[in-house]
């Protein structure tokens, strides 16, 4: 598997509860695979190969499309709890008894839920560009971010606006990221739909309904946790990462400078090293 890369990994399918999940599996053989859960409207090809290939150099990596997203069958879920149940069904279908788990943005919401409802599955947890359920300023996005994120078709300008800081340096690195994610030319994943957008935004808004009591759930995450975020996240407030770090016992926090939502793509090499060192 070590000669297969992000750009050459075949798309495979596994059935669970009547849904065929699309996934790609590649990287160095390891005892515990790393499952990556994607952001709002993201599919298999929206992962940055600079990140995934660096992770795969040291461990097995599994990318997956949620139900109804990309090449997976079924209907997209309107809640984080239902998405969580679907991903658990996917891991069961692959026969995974123990995983490391990295969730980015919406995927971080799902990763938190998995660590809470099935702690025996998760060895180590990485939360990137994400935030806690019910935290302040999480109830939907500000108007300019929502306009770009929820456009009928996300173009390069939309991704640069919502993912990267509005500075020359961050925007330049964002353009490099865009070049990387479009470099795969064969067997690309199916694009996400407006139906996916609407369902996933429902899930995001529900997750962010103000609920101080929900924050206490984080104290139930007892797996080693690494939190990554940019210093000025425009989609999910950076202060939420500090909240998670304070409530998840023993959590580590890394804040990247001059970065917004997609800090793990802007700083792909540094983020991969942080994750690999943490998982090792």
- State how far Cα 93 lies from the chain centre: 21
What is the four-CA torsion angle of 218, 219, 221, 224, rounded to 10 degrees?
110
Distance CA 147, CA 235 (A): 12
Encode pLDDT of 65-109 as tens digits.
999 999 999 999 999 999 999 999 999 999 999 999 999 999 999
Domains of the chain from N-terminus onward: 12-279 (3.40.50.1820)
> For the chain, what percent of residues have pLDDT higher than 70?
99
**Predicted local confidence at residue 2, as pLDDT:** 59
Mean pLDDT value across residues 112-127: 98
> For the chain, what percent of residues have pLDDT higher than 90?
97
pTM score: 0.97
Q: Measured on CA atoms in the order 206, 154, 72, 88, is the torsion positive or negative?
A: negative
Encode pLDDT of 17-34 as tens digits.
999 999 999 999 878 999
Encode pLDDT of 258-275 as tens digits.
999 999 999 999 999 999
Backbone angles phi, psi at 27, to 5 degrees: 120, 180
Distance CA 58, CA 60 (A): 7
Closest CA to 261 of 106, 129, 108: 129
The DSSP call for residue 97 is S
CA dist list (Å): 224 to 31, 86, 260: 17, 24, 24
**Predicted local confidence at residue 215, as pLDDT:** 97
Backbone angles phi, psi at 254, to 5 degrees: -125, 120
């Amino acid at each position: 598997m070590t000669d297969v890369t992000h750009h050459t990994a075949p798309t495979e399918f596994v059935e669970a509860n009547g849904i065929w999940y699309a996934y790609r599996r590649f990287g160095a053989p390891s005892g515990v695979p790393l499952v990556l859960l994607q952001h709002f409207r993201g599919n298999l090809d929206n992962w940055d190969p600079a990140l995934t290939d660096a992770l795969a150099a040291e461990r097995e990596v599994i990318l997956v499309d949620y139900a109804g997203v990309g090449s997976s069958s079924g209907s997209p879920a309107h809640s984080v709890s239902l998405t969580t149940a679907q991903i658990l069904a996917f891991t069961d279908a692959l026969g995974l008894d123990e995983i490391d788990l990295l969730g980015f943005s919406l995927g971080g919401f799902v990763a938190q839920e998995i660590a809470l409802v099935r702690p025996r599955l998760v060895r180590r947890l990485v939360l990137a560009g994400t935030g806690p359920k019910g935290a302040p300023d999480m109830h939907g996005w500000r108007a300019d971010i929502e306009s770009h994120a929820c456009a009928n078709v996300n173009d390069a300008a939309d991704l640069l606006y919502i993912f990267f800081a509005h500075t020359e340096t961050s925007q330049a690195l964002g353009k490099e990221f865009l070049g990387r994610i479009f470099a795969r030319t064969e067997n690309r994943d199916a694009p996400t739909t407006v139906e996916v957008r609407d369902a996933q935004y429902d899930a995001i808004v529900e997750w962010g309904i103000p609920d101080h009591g929900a924050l206490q759930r984080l104290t139930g995450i007892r797996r080693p946790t690494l939190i990554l975020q940019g210093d000025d996240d425009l989609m999910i407030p950076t202060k939420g990462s500090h909240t998670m770090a304070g409530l998840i016992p023993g959590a580590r926090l890394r804040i990247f400078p001059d970065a917004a939502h997609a800090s793990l793509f802007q700083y792909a090499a540094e983020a991969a090293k942080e994750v690999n060192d943490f998982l090792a």
